[in-house]
Each structure stands twice: as structure tokens, then as C-alpha cells.
Amino acid sequence: MAPEDYDVLIAGAGPAGAVLALCLAPTGMKIGVIDKAEFPRYKICGDALSGKVMRVLSRLPGDTLQEFLKIPGIVPCDGIRFVAPNLKHIDLPFHPSRPSGPMTGGYLCDRTTFDHFLISRVESFRNIHFFQKESFANAKEHPDGMMVFTENRCFRAKIVAGADGVNSRLRNLLNPETFEKKHYSLGVRTYFENISGDFHERLIELIFLKTVLPGYVWIFPVGEGRFNVGLGWRQDQVIRQKAALGPLLSDLVKSHPALAARFRNARQLAPIQAHLLPLGTARIRRSGHRILLLGDAAFLVDPFSGEGIGNAMASGEIAAETIRSCFHKGDFSDTALKDYDHHLHRRVVGEFKTSALLQRLAGFPWLFNFVVNKASKNPDLKELLTAIYTSEKAKKKLTRPGFYIRALLH
């Protein structure tokens, strides 16, 4: 089989792979994108796109953000309702002092629609060739690049990006070891309509129940009276508790005091489905041998919030910068690729240490109750709590013992 020549070959056309392709498009490089699925493809998700996603969209070529805002049915999200284990809640608008808008808050958007939107933009560039239903099988080095094999095709590229999701095969080439279960979260989700309660339609709800800490149940309003409802919990804890997450979610919405009354007349619209989230607590090699790993393939899900889309897209942007520099210098060595790790650490991975600490703190229900109680009476603390979803500095403050002592004294 004669190889097809590309400058860059991207395996996986989710948000990470699509953003990388879009960022490289204006360079005129010849880019191949392969995905094992046929688009629009189905994706299990909470459908929440954070402010980080909006910021990446605003930097993509063309009017990507403006075009995104035209998608029918997207729902603006202006903040979070945080429900503590004692069932007290606090509403955290993202920027109470500033007008809401696409750059401050986020949006709810069905993932199949969002990912298809991104890949349609990719397909509009002539220098990008998108191959659907092509599953990455293997890759090997050759003197001037990498050979990449799918079942039907063979590609030759100077550099290969692994954006092939949580079960990445490209990741295995750099990290043959398996990762511990504590570095994954298991997520289950379904859709409901007719949920009752005094929720605000522009807030997403995170409900931290004592029995599943530091995991949480989410209720996200996705428009037209429908809700994305799910449960995320660290995989090692799911195994330790011998929990079956799908039946557990069904049980919680039927019988937990925080949920049962609200779901009494609710109608479930879809079966409960499960998928893994690879958390940023894992130590992993993300570059080398002309390969860069992006998004879920690189374990870039925030260990506290479970956010993965914004980080996947940010990794696409950062990988594009590194690839441009490699081509500029004609240097594809492991040392040149290390630039990617360096920038990824500075802009994405560095935050995970604090998030991991917050994840551990969230395991203590009394501490959680204490912070939410205090924040409901103290506007400064409330603003700080809001900021943990947008600011690393705020997250760090919350992990310092001094913070709790000061809160105790006020």
C-alpha cells in the first residue's frame, strides 16, 4: 500500500483534534485528520461548555465564536448552583459585577452538535483532508517521519497528534503502562424532562451528596425543558464501594431527599450511559517520537470539576504552536517537542495540582458544609468560591489551611 504524504496527521476529530486542525489551517500545511466514527457522531457528555471553550473559539480562524453563537438551541450558562452535603445551596454567578456574555459564562450545547460544528469548520479548509470511519491501528517511525496505519490506508507524516480520546491507542505508544483507577472518573448520564424545583434556568447545578463524595450529581438545563442529568465518581471509589453507577443514579433521583421530590413527575428521555474521564492527576508522557498527545488521550480532565472540553481545545492550540515551531526550525526531535509539555504545563496542567487537592478536600462533608454555609453569608467568600471555576489563584486560596482558619474567625 503506497503511503499518502501529509505534514501533520491527526488521529481523532473531537474538540482536541478539530482545534489543532483549525489552528494549523492558515499555515497551508497539508493536514490529514482521521476518525473511527462517522460524523455527526454520538458523544456521552454533560454538554457544558465553559468560558474557557468560548475563549478558545474566539481565537480560532474565521468567525468561529460568532458562528457557534448562531447554533439553534444552545443555552447560555451564567453560573453554578452548588449544593452541599447538608443540602444547603449557594448560587455562584460567574461574574456578578460584570454583564454576562459569551466570554464570561459558558453555554450548554449538545455534544454531537458541537463536535459536528467544529469538524464542519475543519472540512471547509482545502489543505485539510478528513477521513471518517478510519480507525488508527498503528504507527512506526521511519527516517523522515512516522508511518500511520489504519485498516485501509497508510499515511506518512512529519508529526502525528494523538487526539483519539480516553482509550487512545497513540497514548500506548508513549506510555505502554496502564494507569491506576484513581486517575479516572466514571461518568453516567441521561436526559430528563419535567424536573421541578426552584432552579434558575441559566445556572448549572452540582449536587455533592455525602454518599458519593468527592463525586457529584449534575443537573444541567439544556433547553426546551430538558435536562442533562448525570453522576461522576472516581473509578477507584466506585470499585471500592462495589457501586453500579447507572442503577445508583436511578436510585438517587427516586429516593434521595435532595432529589426525589423534584423528580417525582419527571420523565426519563434516554437510557443511562457511561463513559470514563481521564483525570489530570496521572503522570504521563505527552510528547516524544514525533507524537503529541492531546485532550483525553493526554489525561487533561480537571480532577475537581470534571471539565475536559476546554482543556482538550487548549491542548489543540498549544500543540499547533509547537508544531509550527518544529516546521519553522526543521527540528522534530524529542527536545523540540518538549516545548509542548512546557507550555501545556504552564497553561493547563499546572492547575491540576490545586484541583486534585480540592478534590481531596471535597471528600470531607463537614468541610464542604462549612464553606458553603460561610459563603452564603459572606459576599467575598462567595466571590472566591465562584472564582475557583475561572481562576487558579482562587483555587489555590481554598486549599490553604489559613483560609479555613480565617473563615472560622469571621
Ligand X SMILES: Cc1cc2nc3c(=O)[nH]c(=O)nc-3n(C[C@H](O)[C@H](O)[C@H](O)COP(=O)(O)OP(=O)(O)OC[C@H]3O[C@@H](n4cnc5c(N)ncnc54)[C@H](O)[C@@H]3O)c2cc1C
Nearer to ligand X, 202 or 374 (CB): 202
Nearer to ligand X, 81 or 382 (CB): 81
Q: Does 14 bind ligand X (CB under 6 A)?
A: yes
Show the site string, 118-137: x = touches ligand X by CB under 6 A, - = not. -----------------xx-
Q: How far is the CB of 377 from ligand X (least distance, A)?
A: 30
* Interface pick for ligand X out of 8, 9, 10, 13 (rule CB under 6 A): 13
Q: How far is the CB of 82 from ligand X (least distance, A)?
A: 16
Show the site string, 291-320: x = touches ligand X by CB under 6 A, - = not. ----xx----x----xxxxx-x--------
CA–CA separation, 30 vs 18, rounded Å? 15
| Grid cell at residue 392 | 487558579
Q: Does 205 bind ligand X (CB under 6 A)?
A: no
Q: Does 9 bind ligand X (CB under 6 A)?
A: no
* Interface pick for ligand X out of 10, 24, 29, 45 (rule CB under 6 A): 45
Q: How far is the CB of 342 from ligand X (least distance, A)?
A: 20
Nearer to ligand X, 186 or 398 (CB): 186
Q: Closest Cα partner for 107 from 203, 188, 191, 192?
A: 203
* CB distance 348 to 314 below 8 Å: yes
Nearer to ligand X, 127 or 150 (CB): 150
The alpha carbon of residue 385 and the mean position of all alpha carbons in its chain are separated, in whole angstroms, by 20
Q: How far is the CB of 259 from ligand X (least distance, A)?
A: 18
Q: Which of these ranges, 45-53, 256-264, 323-331, 358-366, lies near ligand X under the rule CB under 6 A?
A: 45-53
Q: How far is the CB of 83 from ligand X (least distance, A)?
A: 17
* Interface pick for ligand X out of 11, 209, 318, 371 (rule CB under 6 A): 11
CB contact set of 342 (below 8 Å; sequence gap of 6+) = none
Residues that bind ligand X (CB under 6 A): 11-17, 34-37, 41, 44-48, 50, 135-136, 163-165, 169, 187, 189, 230, 275, 277, 295-296, 301, 306-310, 312
